[in-house]
């Protein structure tokens, strides 16, 4: 089965991480996000993927090439302007024959795709949709189903008194190719508010595949950080994993789970308290404390600076004595001046990017 992976969105909620890096290749445990997703697909025997791109397509293509290194075959399609989730799949129609998978390019999951495909083939609906439970359904589009698992209704962000289910669309679908006839070509449209309601209206069966397997989307900085923490715990346990050569001062203290890429320098008395991910060529200064943070490549933390549960993109510098507390996000190439104590949740954007208009300069 082929897969269409939707990676054309602007990733606005993930800004400023996505100022220069599309959401599809932000590093998770120091590997581009899509490598994880393609690895998951490969585990389920899917090795042929079409990447539906729009925003910042070039970095995605140069990062993954033709997929050979990952043991998959990649086809790239670029939309001139965003076609939305359904429009993007319509745009790939000529590459699709037979039933195919569609995945949002921002979820990490262990949903059993093999079992989902098996059930789709047994029941033969026009569409199967994976569902995942959430604690707060009022923030999402929920999917109501009947006792046979057939979808009855999509309800966007229900108020608490209208909540009938906590199952939401997990962003993984199996589609029969004939449903593409219901999507207008070269026109923006979405699955949730266009194609799926339309299929229900004309009586086409949509089957749900509910699963309580691990699922997270990396759509916001908080969830991006959580995805790194979860995967780190899962893959490194409580341990310390250093890839390639780095320098550790003998008085540095490191408590796992910690993942350190090549070329890092951890100075005298510095403390790393997991979960921590350091990208290539990061420097942690003397007596600095880094706890629960994810740093991208070439970022530096000055002497006695403190970082907690935050994300620091590439080439940034937290100068000596400054504090970067919970849920702060530093974009690429930013500096936190010496002794500066940021408020929780502060975002520092790269020069030339305005938080207000959320666009490239």
Q: Based on CB atoms, which residue is closest to ligand GTP, 80 or 161?
A: 80
Under rule CB under 6 A, residue 49 binds ligand GTP: no
- The answer to whether the CB of 349 falls within 8 A of the CB of 18 is no
Under rule CB under 6 A, residue 180 binds ligand GTP: no
> Which backbone phi and psi does 288 adopt, to 5 degrees?
-75, 155
Residues numbered 86-115 forming contacts with ligand GTP, rule: CB under 6 A: 88, 104-106
> Which one of 2, 3, 13, 312 is in contact with ligand GTP (CB under 6 A)?
13
Which of the stretches 6-14, 221-229, 302-310, 321-329 binds ligand GTP when contact is defined by CB under 6 A? Answer: 6-14
Q: Based on CB atoms, which residue is closest to ligand GTP, 54 or 225?
A: 54
Q: Based on CB atoms, which residue is closest to ligand GTP, 104 or 208?
A: 104
The 330-359 site mask, x for binding ligand GTP (CB under 6 A), equals: ------------------------------
Q: At what angle do helices 57-64 and 33-43 cross, to 10 degrees?
A: 60
- Tell me the β-bridge partners of 210: 131
Range 133-138, long-range pairs (CB < 8 A, 24+ positions):
133/166, 133/167, 133/168, 133/210, 133/212, 134/166, 134/168, 135/166, 137/163, 137/165, 137/166, 137/167, 137/168, 138/163
Which of the stretches 60-68, 77-85, 290-298, 304-312 binds ligand GTP when contact is defined by CB under 6 A? Answer: 77-85
Other Cβ atoms less than 10 A from the Cβ of 61: the count is 15
- Tell me the β-bridge partners of 173: 102, 129
**What is the rounded distance in angstroms from the CA atom of residue 246 to the CA atom of residue 145?**
53
- The answer to whether the CB of 35 falls within 8 A of the CB of 41 is no
Cα-Cα-Cα-Cα torsion 175, 179, 181, 184, nearest 10 degrees, comes to -80
Under rule CB under 6 A, residue 285 binds ligand GTP: no
Q: Based on CB atoms, which residue is closest to ligand GTP, 138 or 253?
A: 138
> Which one of 85, 314, 316, 322 is in contact with ligand GTP (CB under 6 A)?
85
The 315-334 site mask, x for binding ligand GTP (CB under 6 A), equals: --------------------
Q: Which residues bind ligand GTP (CB under 6 A)?
A: 6-14, 23, 52-54, 79, 82-85, 88, 104-106, 219
């Amino acid at each position: 089965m082929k897969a269409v992976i939707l990676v054309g969105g602007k990733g606005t909620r993930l800004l400023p991480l996505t100022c220069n890096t599309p959401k599809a290749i932000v590093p998770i445990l120091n590997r581009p996000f899509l490598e994880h997703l393609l690895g998951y697909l490969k585990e389920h025997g899917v090795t042929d993927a079409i990447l539906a791109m729009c925003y910042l397509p070039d970095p995605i293509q140069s990062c993954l090439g033709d997929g050979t290194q990952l043991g998959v075959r990649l086809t790239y399609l670029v939309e001139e302007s965003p076609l939305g989730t359904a429009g993007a799949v319509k745009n790939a129609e000529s590459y699709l024959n037979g039933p195919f998978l569609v995945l949002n390019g921002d979820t990490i999951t262990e949903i059993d795709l093999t079992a989902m495909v098996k059930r789709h083939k047994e029941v033969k609906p026009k569409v199967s949709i994976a569902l995942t439970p959430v604690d707060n359904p009022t923030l999402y589009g929920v999917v109501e189903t009947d006792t046979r698992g057939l979808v009855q209704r999509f309800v966007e962000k229900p108020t608490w008194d209208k909540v009938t289910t906590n199952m939401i669309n997990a962003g993984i679908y199996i589609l029969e190719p004939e449903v593409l006839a219901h999507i207008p070509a070269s026109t923006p449209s979405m699955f949730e508010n266009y194609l799926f309601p339309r299929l229900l209206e004309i009586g086409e069966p949509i089957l749900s595949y509910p699963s309580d397997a691990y699922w997270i989307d990396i759509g916001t900085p908080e969830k991006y950080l959580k995805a790194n923490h979860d995967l780190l715990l899962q893959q490194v346990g409580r341990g310390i994993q250093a890839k390639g050569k780095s320098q550790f001062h003998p008085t540095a203290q490191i408590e796992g789970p910690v993942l350190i890429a090549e070329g890092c320098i951890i100075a005298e008395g510095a403390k790393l308290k997991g979960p921590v991910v350091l990208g290539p060529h990061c420097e942690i200064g003397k007596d600095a404390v880094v706890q629960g943070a994810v740093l991208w490549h070439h970022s530096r933390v000055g002497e006695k600076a403190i970082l907690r549960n935050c994300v620091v993109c590439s080439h940034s510098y937290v100068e000596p004595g400054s504090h970067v507390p919970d849920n702060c996000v530093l974009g690429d190439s930013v500096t936190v001046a010496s002794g500066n104590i940021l408020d929780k949740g502060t975002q520092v954007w790269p020069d030339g990017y305005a938080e207000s208009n959320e666009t490239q300069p």
